[in-house]
C-alpha cells in the first residue's frame, strides 16, 4: 500500500478522489436497488395481509 501510494501523484492521495468515486458508485447502486425492490415488496406485504399467495412475486425484477 505504501509503495503504491508513493507511485501515485500526491494530488490523488490528498483530495480523496478515489474514495469519493467509490462512495458515489456505492450510493448509486444502493439507491437504484432500493427503488426497484419497493414495488414488489409492497405487493408481497399486501398479499400476505390479505391472505393471498405471495411466493411467486419476485423481489428483484
49: pLDDT strictly greater than 60: yes
Three-state secondary structure along 3-60? HHHHHCCHHHHHHCHHHHHHHHHHHHHHHHHHHHHHHHHHHHHHHHHHCCCCCCCCCC
pLDDT at position 14: 58
Chain segment 10-45, per-residue pLDDT in tens? 555 556 788 888 888 888 877 776 677 778 888 899
Amino acid at each position: 500500500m505504501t509503495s503504491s501510494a508513493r507511485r501515485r501523484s500526491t494530488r490523488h492521495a490528498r483530495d480523496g478522489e478515489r474514495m469519493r468515486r467509490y462512495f458515489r458508485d456505492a450510493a448509486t447502486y444502493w439507491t437504484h436497488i432500493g427503488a426497484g425492490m419497493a414495488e414488489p415488496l409492497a405487493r408481497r406485504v399486501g398479499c400476505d395481509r390479505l391472505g393471498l399467495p405471495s411466493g411467486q412475486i419476485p423481489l428483484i425484477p
